[in-house]
Amino acid sequence: MKRTSFAQWPCSIARTMDLLGDWWTPLVLREAFYGVRRFDEFQQSLGIARTTLAGRLRRLVDEGLLEKRLYQEEPARYDYVLTEMGRDFFGVLAAMSRWGDRWLGDGEGPPVVLHHDRCGQESHAEVTCAACGEAMTAENTRPRLGPGFPSKLAQRPDIQERFTR
């Protein structure tokens, strides 16, 4: 079955999901944040089929989240290293982890905690306003059309209603 592409949608969430594509991709990125760099390490830690892993790594390299670095020439073997774009995905994974800890936990506590090196404390992700520092929640935050939203679509009545409440 052919998958619908969201790559050109005027929505950063849809574009991100188009890039992620499936449940393996964020897990590959999670492992990269945990320090996994080599194909066999990814395969062992995730229990993922080699062909599936090869495809996910190739996509992450092609899209700029990982970089391949040769560490052995004969045969050619590579480390997969997070790029700036890949490291910037950390906040997404931290937010997903926080949500999962709250809503999907088994009552034993979080399986992995985040240690903030700067202050020396265990912490978790929070979504805060970059302007004032207050917590952003569904109750106190509304979407508005941004400069990248296509002007032709912005004129539609349903779009106007949705983004001007």
Q: What is the pLDDT of residues 119-163, one digit of tens each?
A: 999 999 999 999 999 999 999 999 999 999 999 999 999 988 888
**Distance between CA 147 and CA 109 in Å, rounded?**
42
Domain for residue 150, yes or no? Answer: no
pLDDT at 73 over 80: yes
**Distance between CA 11 and CA 162 in Å, rounded?**
14
Question: Which helix (H) or strand (E) segment is 123 a member of?
Answer: strand 121-123
Q: Are residues 28 and 67 in the same domain?
A: yes
- Geometric angle at alpha carbon 11, from 28 and 59, rounded to 5°: 30
Domain for residue 156, yes or no? Answer: no
Q: Are residues 99 and 123 in the same domain?
A: yes
Q: Are residues 38 and 64 in the same domain?
A: yes
Domain for residue 93, yes or no? Answer: yes
Q: Are residues 101 and 74 in the same domain?
A: no
Q: Are residues 52 and 66 in the same domain?
A: yes
Domain for residue 19, yes or no? Answer: no
Share of the chain above pLDDT 90, in %: 77
Q: Are residues 76 and 60 in the same domain?
A: yes
Spell out the alpha helix ranges (H) of 12-105: 12-20, 24-33, 39-46, 50-62, 84-87, 90-103
Query: By the 8 A CB rule, do 63 and 89 touch?
Result: no
Domain for residue 134, yes or no? Answer: yes
- Geometric angle at alpha carbon 126, from 8 and 95, rounded to 5°: 50
pTM above 0.75, yes or no: yes
Q: How many domains does the chain have?
A: 2
Q: What is the CATH number of the domain that holds 39?
A: 1.10.10.10
Domain for residue 154, yes or no? Answer: no
Domain for residue 29, yes or no? Answer: yes
Predicted pLDDT at 74? 94
Q: Are residues 56 and 74 in the same domain?
A: yes
Arithmetic mean of pLDDT over the chain: 93
Domain for residue 155, yes or no? Answer: no
Q: Are residues 95 and 73 in the same domain?
A: no
Cα dihedral across residues 23, 24, 25, 26: positive or negative: positive
Domain span holding position 125: 89-142
pLDDT band of 43, cuts 50, 70, 90? very high
